[in-house]
Amino acid sequence: MHNTAEQQVPAPVSLRQAFGFWLKLGFLSFGGPAGQIAILHQELVEKRRWISERRFLHALNYCMLLPGPEAQQLVTYIGWLMHRSAGGIMAGGLFVLPSLFILIGLSWGYLVFGQLPLLAGLFYGLKPAIVAIVLQAALRIGQRVLKNRGLWLLTLAAFLGLSLLQLPFPLIILSAALTGHLAKYRWPAVFARANTRHGQPGQHGGPALIDDDTPTPAHARFSRGGLLRVVLAGGLLWCGPMLLLYSLLGWQHPFTQMGWFFTKAALLTFGGAYAVLPYVYQGAVAHYGWLSAGQMMDGLALGETTPGPLIMVVAFVGFVGGYQHVSMLSPALAGTLAATLVTWFTFLPSFLFILAGGPLIERSHDSQALSAPLTAITAAVVGVIANLALFFGWQVLWPQGWQAGPDWTALLIALAAAVALLRYKLGIIRVMAAAACCGYLLHS
């Protein structure tokens, strides 16, 4: 028999309650995009049941198509769906702000003191645990969406396209969508949406607060006036700071150039942080000279081992650039202002994409015409996450290359974390805390 409590719809969540959760998430969202999506799925779909699996994946598919950090955009989308624009801005902002404050502090410590041995030990344990978390994400989502051989083949094609052929991420996602669109006429059953009604036999959990058949709330319905308001507000929020920087400091000042460069990075680079980073590296190091190649690599290590989106490494780039190249202010203040400016111009487009495009996506979640492309995208996303697990696992478990052999301590931590997550169903946060402690004790 099913637990009757699991059949009940969760109690409504107030904006204040949501604030507490989003704030906690901002401090605990380790693991890059795949790890963060795993945490979101476990917390929002399985544990709290704020949103159903189908609605969660529908939103995720949209975010995967956008330039920018998909996990932060997904958080913004769900916050907006639950509590209007204020909820979306709050959720997306709290996902970024803790990481910004932490990276400002770590960047200052890096420039002043050089090495951070205490944090190095903690991060040594966290990295293998993150490998296990990313693998768990691929398994969890794969078990629920890969219902037939055709979808498995799409997952395998996405995985091989990324890992062996090095195909661009947008090409993988767009190819999957096109495959679903064309193949739905010949093999409609392959791309039909699975019946994932919550609370039925064989399904986990119970009905969600925003379930499959929950009507779209009034604020999430498309209107031309609402779209126009979002576009105008976004234009003002970008033009205001940029014009202020230009009028006060001139076009060639590092602050102004950072605003313009990271706006382009946010708009022109698809495929998440791993696609953005080469562009940022080329511009910040080779073109502008804000920091050295070695400093950029150190910043990437800090970005990978702190909570929040991996693209928050841009805050490190901004801090180091401001600290070293702005003489009109104290180095620490110049670095802090630069990191804040860079974060503003990097993430502003992500909020606008969700608030402007969300109503169109909500209008389409019952559309049969879109179900096949989105189902195909979901299958490809499983392959994308599996590829991230392979990429991150290689970097962490074989840091010196294949011939040098694995880092056995890191490998044992990863295996222990995988067993704790997959066999004993322990929470992600508990596993990460235990792994960090092991890393500190074994590596310090």
Assess if residue 213 is contained within a domain.
Answer: no
Q: Which contacts qualify for 240-243: CB closer than 8 Å, 24 or more apart?
A: 241/341, 241/344, 241/345
| Residue 248 pLDDT > 70 | yes
The predicted model gives 48-72 an average pLDDT of: 86
Looking at this protein, which amino acid is placed at residue 87?
Answer: G
Q: In terms of domains, do 277 and 395 share one? A: no
Write the DSSP assignment of 148-165 as a string of letters. SHHHHHHHHHHHHHHHTS
What pLDDT is recorded for position 193? 55
What pLDDT is recorded for position 201? 32
Q: Is the dihedral of CA 1, 429, 31, 14 positive or negative?
A: positive
Q: Which residue has the tokens 């296990």?
A: 132
Q: In terms of domains, do 71 and 189 share one? A: yes
| Residue 366 pLDDT > 70 | no
Among residues 308, 303, 304, 343, the alpha carbon closest in space to that of 95 is found at 308
Q: In terms of domains, do 331 and 183 share one? A: no
* Tens of pLDDT, residues 197-220: 433 333 456 788 999 888 889 999
Q: How far apart are CA 41 and CA 51, in angstroms?
A: 9
Q: In terms of domains, do 101 and 127 share one? A: yes
Which range has the top average pLDDT, 100-104, 142-146, 431-435?
A: 100-104
Q: Is 401 left (phi over 0), alpha (psi -120 to 50) or beta?
A: left
Q: In terms of domains, do 16 and 165 share one? A: yes
What pLDDT is recorded for position 228? 96
336, 104 in Cβ contact below 8 A? yes
Q: What are 181's two structure tokens?
A: 């669109």
| Residue 364 pLDDT > 70 | yes
| Residue 65 pLDDT > 70 | yes
The predicted model gives 232-257 an average pLDDT of: 96
| Residue 416 pLDDT > 60 | yes
Which range has the top average pLDDT, 21-30, 193-202, 316-325?
A: 316-325
Q: In terms of domains, do 305 and 391 share one? A: no
Of 351, 366, 387, the residue that ends a domain is 351
Q: Is 217 left (phi over 0), alpha (psi -120 to 50) or beta?
A: beta
Looking at this protein, which amino acid is placed at residue 394?
Answer: W
The predicted model gives 395-420 an average pLDDT of: 87
Q: In terms of domains, do 329 and 360 share one? A: no
Average pLDDT of the chain is 84
Q: Which domain holds residue 89?
A: 12-193+353-443
Assess if residue 170 is contained within a domain.
Answer: yes
More confident residue, 118 or 220: 220
Rg (CA), the chain: 22
Assess if residue 299 is contained within a domain.
Answer: yes
**Three-state SS at 185:** coil
Of 320, 351, 382, the residue that ends a domain is 351
Q: Which residue has the tokens 């799925």?
A: 41
Q: In terms of domains, do 281 and 297 share one? A: yes
The predicted model gives 102-126 an average pLDDT of: 79
Write the DSSP assignment of 322-339 as a string of letters. HHHH--SS-HHHHHHHHH
* b/e per residue 140-155 (b: at least 16 CB within 10 A): bbbebbbbeebbeebb
Q: If pLDDT is split at 50, 70 and 90, which confidence band does 377 have?
A: confident
* Tens of pLDDT, residues 301-311: 677 667 888 78
DSSP state of 46: I
For the chain, how many structural domains are there in total? 2
Which range has the top average pLDDT, 49-58, 187-196, 378-387?
A: 49-58
Q: Is 147 left (phi over 0), alpha (psi -120 to 50) or beta?
A: alpha
The predicted model gives 215-236 an average pLDDT of: 93
| Residue 59 pLDDT > 60 | yes
More confident residue, 202 or 338: 338
Q: In terms of domains, do 24 and 160 share one? A: yes
Q: In terms of domains, do 344 and 368 share one? A: no
Q: In terms of domains, do 381 and 423 share one? A: yes
Assess if residue 283 is contained within a domain.
Answer: yes
What pLDDT is recorded for position 402? 79
The predicted model gives 137-164 an average pLDDT of: 84
Assess if residue 164 is contained within a domain.
Answer: yes
Among residues 347, 283, 304, the alpha carbon closest in space to that of 68 is found at 347
The predicted model gives 329-354 an average pLDDT of: 96
* Tens of pLDDT, residues 175-190: 888 888 887 777 776 6
Of 327, 351, 375, the residue that ends a domain is 351
Q: How far apart are CA 188 and CA 72, in angstroms?
A: 33
The predicted model gives 3-27 an average pLDDT of: 84
Assess if residue 87 is contained within a domain.
Answer: yes
Assess if residue 3 is contained within a domain.
Answer: no
Assess if residue 363 is contained within a domain.
Answer: yes
Q: In terms of domains, do 346 and 393 share one? A: no
What pLDDT is recorded for position 24? 92
| Residue 12 pLDDT > 80 | yes
| Residue 1 pLDDT > 60 | no
104, 319 in Cβ contact below 8 A? yes
Q: Phi and psi at residue 162, in whole multiples of 5°?
A: -80, -45
